[in-house]
Amino acid sequence: MQAEPDDMLDLSGLLCPLPVLKAGKRLKAMAPGRTLTVIATDPMAETDLPLYCREQGHDFLGCTRDGDTFIFRIRRT
């Protein structure tokens, strides 16, 4: 069972590059070790968010898909 996220960000309807930019801004405001769940509908987010995490050193904890909605889990480092 997954732990509850420390923060959640619903970016449904936003297109690239906004999901990554807004997730990045939220992550910067969070304390290290906290987790963020991002909800997005832009298919590019499935590529862009893991890449962003890798480049910034955050832990990408995974992505699930529910229809056209992607749910990402990220741990701030």
Consecutive H or E run containing 31: none
Q: Which of 16, 21, 30, 71 is catalytic?
A: 16
**DSSP assignments along 36-57, one per residue:** EEEEE--TTHHHHHHHHHHHHT
Q: Has 53 been annotated as catalytic?
A: no
Nearest to 49 by CA among 67, 74, 31: 74
What residues are annotated to the active site? Answer: 16
